[in-house]
Amino acid sequence: MSLLWDNIPFLLKGAYYTLLVTVVSMFFGLILGMIIAIARLKGNRPIRWLARFYVSIIRGTPAFVQLLIVYYGLVDYGITLGPLTAAFVALSINVSAYLSETFRGAIQSIPKGQTEAAYATGMTSWQALRRIIFPQAARVAIAPIGNTFIGMLKETTLVSVITVTELLRSAQLLVAQYYVYMPFYLGIAAMYWIMSTVFSAILESIEKRLSKVY
């Protein structure tokens, strides 16, 4: 285990990239997912169809394949992305499809009377969404969003194949250097568990606060 402790700084650097990819991908995935959810709920028929088709395609294909298309496939069309940028783009697109369904379900769970009451006070459709529907939907959506976040944290292991030196890639490099497997793989398993546990506690705290407000 001394090898593990001696290389903790290197693994922590990998953990930093794991968290970076997770947070950035979730951030853009949340924005894109909200846009898609609104398109499915409020758009005209062609827009709703396109949004549904997007979700079907992304959810129906592996994230690994999507990552390869973004990093390697786009090169055929003269678009070359760095490993980290490709990771951000591919995982943001992937998670947006799942988050859009979370948002859509949360928004639809709010009683229609809430919207009608907002319209009765003179609010526009956008004002009703922003002031009445979104805050209540956030309370409903926070738990599944948290689960998606934890899943994304673990799914970042995929980006090791395009040479992003996240946590798994860092362990693989150490294994190749020392020809020892168990300490490094057990070590990163513990690090993933710690990060997941910390974020679960943070999200649980946020969920409790939202439940008190709404």
Q: Global pTM?
A: 0.88
User: What are the domain boundaries of the chain?
Assistant: 16-164
Count Cβ neighbours within 10 Å for each residue of 136-159 and write b for 16 or more, e otherwise: bbbbbbbebbbebbbebbebbbbb
CA distances from 169 to 15, 87, 101, 115, 172 (A): 10, 14, 31, 49, 5
Check if the beta carbon of residue 22 is closer than 8 Å to that of residue 89. no
- Whether 210 has a pLDDT exceeding 70, the answer reads no
Candidate from 72-81, 105-114, 174-183 with smallest mean pLDDT: 105-114
Q: What is the pLDDT of residue 214?
A: 53
Please provide the size of the chain in residues.
214
| pLDDT tens digits, one per residue of 100-123 | 999 988 888 877 777 777 777 777
- Whether 66 has a pLDDT exceeding 90, the answer reads yes
| pLDDT tens digits, one per residue of 8-55 | 999 999 999 999 999 999 999 999 999 999 899 888 889 999 999 999
Q: Which residues does 119 contact at the CB level (< 8 Å), separation at least 6?
A: 125, 128
Pick the CATH number of 16-164 from 3.40.640.10, 2.140.10.10, 1.10.3720.10, 1.20.140.10: 1.10.3720.10
Tokens 């001696």 sit on residue? 6
- Whole-number Å distance between alpha carbons of 177 and 179: 6
